Amino acid sequence: MDFVRVDEATKYYAYDYEDYECKDKSGETLIEEILKDPEFQEIKALEIGDWGGAWEDDCQALIDGIVENKERFSHIERLFMGDMDFESCEVSWIMQGNYSKLWDAMPQLKSLTIKGSLELELGDICHEGLEELTIICGGLPKYVIESIRDAKLPNLKKLLLYLGVDDYGFDGDVDTIKDFLEKSNFPKLTYLGLTDSEIQDEIAEIVVESKYMGQLETLDLSMGSFSDKGAELLLQKLPLFPNIKILDVHYNYLTDKMVRKLEMFPIDVDASENNKPDEYGGQIYMTPMLTE
């Protein structure tokens, strides 16, 4: 059992392997223990790690428990569901749940982070107060991207999506991202992260032509196959958007020469963690940072 006060406003709750295998702990018991914790009412940020065998049991009991006890969770402004490392469960194995009822149950929520995409359902998203939405996974299904595309989030400021690869759930393509950028409506968005993709250069090309470029302060294209091709495009386009103050392309496949060029921009640029492409059977592979 791992119940830790991270800081004055945050507490982390998780079970370990022994809790799950030997003590019959689960999502149902975890929600009960959270509510019984005398420190729970003091926090504003709730981080939930492994709820017990996250590779074979989803987190629906936790989501349902929050919805059923929404008055007792009314002080929670930040929620992270699935905050666990690979030693607890590989990201591509984390069984998620259906968040459709959470939007109405937590009107005070400002930030939601979800890790894992197996069986993830967001439903019809409508939330006046949400300012940050992050989904961390090895592959984001197209239907989830479409749910976010159609979301009514008038105060969303930060959107960070790990797109991942097709082997672990990403079944979209460049047109999926183009459609997303064209049809979504986030008037207050200042941080856009479309990351961890094996088509990162193509995504960069679509993003720089999108309606959001004129309002962003942070452009995050990190953790994917971003190469000199995408960087050349940014060198041409970014000077047109003085509103952008931060460019994040860390974990990339840039040459040293291109890194130096990007770092000459009069903005905050993170082009660290350079990788070399792999070659097998005459094919070049540039693997995103997070897959399995």
Q: Following CA atoms 94, 97, 100, 103 in sequence, which dihedral angle do they give, to the nearest 10 degrees?
A: -60
Q: What is the pTM of this model?
A: 0.96
Q: At what angle do helices 174-183 and 142-149 cross, to 10 degrees?
A: 10
Question: For residue 197, is it within any domain?
Answer: yes
CA distances in angstroms from 196 to 18, 35, 137, 201, listed in the order given: 33, 36, 9, 11
pLDDT in tens, 69-102: 999 999 999 999 999 999 899 999 999 999 999 9
Q: What is the pLDDT of residues 170-229, one digit of tens each?
A: 999 999 999 999 999 999 999 999 999 999 999 999 999 999 999 999 999 999 999 999
Return all residues near 200 (Cβ < 8 A) that are at least 6 apart: 221, 224, 225, 226, 227, 230, 252, 288
The answer to whether residue 161 is domain-embedded is yes
User: H or E stretch including 205?
Assistant: helix 200-207
How many separate domains does the chain show?
Answer: 1
Confidence of residue 284 (pLDDT cuts 50, 70, 90): confident
Question: Which CATH number do you get for residue 140?
Answer: 3.80.10.10
pLDDT band (50, 70, 90) for residue 292: confident
Domain range enclosing 157: 2-285
Residue 11 lies in a domain: yes
Q: What is the pLDDT of residue 283?
A: 81
Q: Please check whether residue 291 is in contact with residue 168, taking contact to mean a CB–CB distance below 8 angstroms.
A: yes
Domain-located, residue 291? no
Length of the chain: 292
Does 292 map to a domain?
no
How does pLDDT run across 217-273, given as a tens digit for each residue? Answer: 999 999 999 999 999 999 999 999 999 999 999 999 999 999 999 999 999 999 999
